[in-house]
Structure 1
Amino acid sequence: MSVRRSRCQNGFTYLSLIILVAIIGMATAATLKMGSVIQRSRAEQQLLDIGAAYSDALQSYADATPAGMPTQPPSLNELLRDPRFPGVRRHLRRIYVDPMTGGAEWGIIYLNGKVGVLAVYSLSDAKPVKIGNFPPRFAGLAGRQKISEWRFTAVSKSAATTQ
């Protein structure tokens, strides 16, 4: 009789061990998923910070434009060192790496095809974690379905305060 009871207890212990391993596996999977979401959220916040820098640089370039010249730079390189002035004039410190793709390549919207840079955007087609509750400066980004739809343009200081 004691042999039969021992087998029954061994089966119960084995079943308990399988359930425990399954629970640990599910908890690990949930932790990894949450870590991934947190990492993407941080990358999106970095993208917003970099987008603000590009937006400010485009506006700085436009504000410094002499009368009669186009207010958009021909490329992002002109934001690094403005060739319109004899001295060194910078609107942007460096071309940033896109935190969503990991590359230095950005999507650029040009005025009339290829004349001047109007907007900069990430080339990532990922769905954003953040879809609302943006700061007033980025209120137009709410509800976008892809990161590549987040466009960063020159915004004058007076327009930014009225939004």
Structure 2
Amino acid sequence: MRIGGLPFVALAMLSLIVGLLAGLQRIGWRNEIIETSIIILKNNMDKHDIISRNDIIALVDSFYEKVKANALLGPVFSHVDWPKHLPVMYGFWSSMLLGETSYSGNPLQSHLPLPIDSTHFNQWLALFEATLDELFAGERTEETRMRARAIAGVFQHKMGLKI
């Protein structure tokens, strides 16, 4: 049985660990590692895996807000018609991760004319992975991470960029 992105047994074990760490704090064992561990464990317990189109929408919306605000990536994508582009991205990721057939297109073609290099891809990946980590945890989340890395690698290779 799964609760969120974790099997029930794993969730129970995490709860036990959080309780033990909190107990150590109560008896005076205070240090940064214990406090950080509690925060990380509690945050991950509240997350679920990517399971629906609504999850994809949350991921894409949150990620592209970061892209738009980013000093390196924002200017490169300032020409994008976001209300038109975001549904395309929902379809792309839903097709890849959920098996939908809502995307058709060639994402590489639209990136070829952009003034980007490996630095841009590294920043894109950093923001994408940070968004994943903020919102989700689980097997499909890790699959998403691996697919994003693969896409970045293929794009850079096809664009003749140094990886």
TM > 0.5 between the two?
no
Between the two structures, name the one with larger relative contact order (CA 8 Å, sep ≥ 6). 2
Which structure has greater strand proportion? 1
Larger radius of gyration: 1
For normalisation by structure 1, the TM-score amounts to 0.24
Which structure has greater helix proportion? 2
For normalisation by structure 2, the TM-score amounts to 0.24
